[in-house]
Amino acid sequence: MSTIIETERLILRELLESDINEMFELDSNPLVHKFLGNKPISTKEQALEGIRFVRQQYTERGIGRFAAVEKSSGEFIGWSGLKLNQGEKEILNGFDNFIDVGYRFIPRYWGKGYATESAIATMDYGFKVMQYDTIYGAAEIENIASNIVLQKIGLQFVNKFLYEDIEVNWYELNKDNYGKKMS
């Protein structure tokens, strides 16, 4: 996937094996994993496996999360983008074969609007370039920042469901409503 998306402050590009150190910094931080099942990684090998899994999705599913690079510093700050969820292990709220929007950043880059900025760009890519009909989003109800971002980029709350005994909010946006109402 050679796509590059540029926003005002970020470059979104494919995730590379050379991002291993930054991906390790991201995914070994317990704060980052607080609302992701509390399972931070502990080795660089796990970071590499994660990168390889995303790169495999680019080839096999035609889409995957983008690495996000801060233009002003040139630093890798985390990832943001769309994923085609497929197969039993990726079923969520009873859905299989669905596109969701997601983001994960190193904490020193939180609170700058980067999740919102990158997610707006990837939703646009999803509807206009990839021609998806519906894009979904999920966030633990206690993950305030993520719920705010999903609402700000226009997703509509649908229902609450339980995932591993934790309450999660489920959102969706259909192409027919895209761009009509941003909250």
Ligand X SMILES: CC(C)(COP(=O)(O)OP(=O)(O)OC[C@H]1O[C@@H](n2cnc3c(N)ncnc32)[C@H](O)[C@@H]1OP(=O)(O)O)[C@@H](O)C(=O)NCCC(=O)NCCS
- Residue 85 binds to ligand X (criterion: CB under 6 A): no
Q: Which stretch binds ligand X (CB under 6 A): 39-47, 126-134, 141-149, 169-177?
A: 141-149
* Residue from the set 47, 67, 68, 139 that interacts with ligand X by CB under 6 A: 139
Provide the 10 A C-beta neighbour count for residue 79: 24
Nearest approach, Cβ of 177 to ligand X (angstroms)? 21
- Give the chain's count of helices (H) and strands (E): 4, 8
Angle formed at CA 142 by CA 116 and CA 80, multiple of 5 degrees: 30
CA dihedral (83, 174, 109, 13) positive or negative: positive
Q: 131 or 162: whose CB is closer to ligand X?
A: 162
Tell me which residues in 96-125 interact with ligand X (CB under 6 A): 103-105, 110-116
How many angstroms separate the Cα of 57 from the Cα of each of 61, 80, 86, 101? 5, 14, 10, 15
Q: Is 41 in the site for ligand X (CB under 6 A)?
A: no
- Which of 4, 129, 144, 182 forms a contact with ligand X (CB under 6 A)? 144
Residues of the shown chain interacting with ligand X in the complex, contacts defined by CB under 6 A = 32, 35-36, 103-105, 110-116, 139, 143-146, 148-149
